[in-house]
C-alpha cells in the first residue's frame, strides 16, 4: 500500500519559509492577479492566491475585469503593472474569454514579473537550465517527489501529457535532475506498456481515472496532476487512486496533493522576483 504524499503539509512548509524570509529581511513583495470574467473555478483559485499572499506577507493586488474586456484594455493594464514598482509578480488567470489571445497576453508580461514562468524567455531559460522562475505546477510536483526521499537521478520517468504549462516543463525538470524521461501523449503507441516502465509516473492528461493499476509498475512514485469534477460533483484526479495506491510506493491524493503546491510555488516565485527587482 502506497504512502500518501501530503501536498498540504509540504506546501505549508514552503509558505512558512517564504513568510519567515520576508519578515526576517523586511522584503517588500507584491503580486498582481488579473481575472477576466466570472469563471467559478478561476474565482476559487484567485481567492486561494489572495489568502496565501496574506499568510506570507505579500501584498496582493486584484484586478477583476468584465467578461467583455477587449485585448487593448487588458494589454494596457499589463503595461501599467509592468511599470509599477510595487508589483513584483503579474499573473493573468487562465482560461481567458474567447475574444482574448492568451499567447499575446502572456508575451506582454515582463519576463522579470512572469511568476507563472509562461513567457517564451522564461521557457527558454528552463530549457537550458538557467532560470529564475519555474512553472508553479511542475515545480510543485518536483517538491513532492523530493519529499519522498526518492532520487530522480537514473530513474525511468514517464510524463503523460505534453502541455506547455505542465507536461513539457515537467519533463525538463526531471531531465535536469538526471532522470531518463519519456513524454507520452494521445499519439503514443502501447501507452500502458510505456507507463509500466516508470519508476516515477506523472499524470497530467486531464481525463478522470485515466491511469489504472495495470499501467503502473510495482513500487512506482505516482504524481497525479489532474483535477476533474465527476457528474456526482466529486473531485478526482487522472489516476484511479484506490487501485493504483495498492501498487505504488508513494502517491499524491486529489484533492490535497499537487493543488496546494501550485500556490506555494507561486509565493516562492513572487519572493524571488521581488529579490531580483529590489537588487537592480
156 near 197, Cβ under 8 Å? yes
Spatial distance between the Cα atoms of 12 and 130, rounded to a whole number of angstroms: 27
Spatial distance between the Cα atoms of 161 and 172, rounded to a whole number of angstroms: 13
List 93, 168, 240, 268, catalytic entry = 93
Helix, coil or strand: residue 158? strand
Spatial distance between the Cα atoms of 256 and 183, rounded to a whole number of angstroms: 25
Check if 268 is active-site: no
DSSP string, 48-108: HHHHHHHHHT-EEEEEEE-TT--HHHHHHHHHHHHH-TT--EEEEPSSPPTTS-HHHHHHH
Check if 73 is active-site: no
E-strand spans in 87-195? 89-92, 156-160, 180-184
Angle in degrees, CA 257, 137, 52, rounded to 5: 75
Torsion, Cα of 95, 251, 169, 55 (10° steps): 60
33 near 93, Cβ under 8 Å? yes
Check if 3 is active-site: no
List 112, 113, 116, 277, catalytic entry = 116
CA nearest to 252, candidates 233, 268, 236? 236
List 49, 113, 155, 168, catalytic entry = 49
Grid cell, residue 203, equals 499524470
Spatial distance between the Cα atoms of 61 and 75, rounded to a whole number of angstroms: 17
90 near 115, Cβ under 8 Å? yes
Q: Which residues are annotated as catalytic?
A: 49, 93, 116
Amino acid at each position: 500500500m502506497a504512502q500518501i504524499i501530503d501536498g498540504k503539509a509540504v506546501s505549508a512548509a514552503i509558505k512558512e519559509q517564504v513568510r519567515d524570509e520576508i519578515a526576517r529581511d523586511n522584503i517588500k513583495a507584491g503580486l498582481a492577479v488579473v481575472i477576466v470574467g466570472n469563471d467559478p473555478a478561476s474565482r476559487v483559485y484567485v481567492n486561494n492566491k489572495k489568502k496565501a499572499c496574506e499568510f506570507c506577507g505579500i501584498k496582493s493586488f486584484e484586478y477583476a475585469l468584465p467578461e467583455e474586456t477587449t485585448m487593448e484594455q487588458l494589454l494596457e493594464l499589463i503595461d501599467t503593472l509592468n511599470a509599477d514598482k510595487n508589483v513584483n509578480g503579474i499573473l493573468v488567470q487562465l482560461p481567458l474569454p474567447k475574444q482574448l489571445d492568451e499567447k499575446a497576453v502572456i508575451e506582454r508580461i515582463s519576463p522579470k514579473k512572469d511568476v507563472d514562468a509562461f513567457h517564451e524567455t522564461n521557457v527558454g531559460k528552463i530549457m537550458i537550465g538557467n532560470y529564475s522562475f519555474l512553472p508553479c505546477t511542475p515545480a510543485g510536483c518536483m517538491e513532492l517527489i523530493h519529499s519522498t526521499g526518492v532520487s530522480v537521478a537514473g530513474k525511468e520517468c514517464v510524463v503523460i501529457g505534453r502541455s506547455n504549462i505542465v507536461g513539457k516543463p515537467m519533463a525538463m525538470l526531471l531531465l535536469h535532475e538526471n532522470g531518463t524521461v519519456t513524454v507520452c501523449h494521445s499519439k503514443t503507441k502501447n501507452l500502458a506498456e510505456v507507463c509500466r516502465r516508470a519508476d516515477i509516473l506523472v499524470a497530467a492528461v486531464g481525463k478522470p481515472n485515466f491511469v489504472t493499476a495495470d499501467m503502473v509498475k510495482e513500487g512506482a512514485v505516482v504524481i497525479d496532476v489532474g483535477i476533474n469534477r465527476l457528474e456526482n460533483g466529486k473531485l478526482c484526479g487522472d489516476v484511479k487512486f484506490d487501485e493504483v495506491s495498492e501498487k505504488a510506493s508513494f502517491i499524491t491524493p486529489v484533492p490535497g496533493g499537487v493543488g496546494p503546491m501550485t500556490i506555494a510555488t507561486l509565493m516562492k516565485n513572487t519572493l524571488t522576483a521581488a529579490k531580483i527587482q529590489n537588487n537592480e
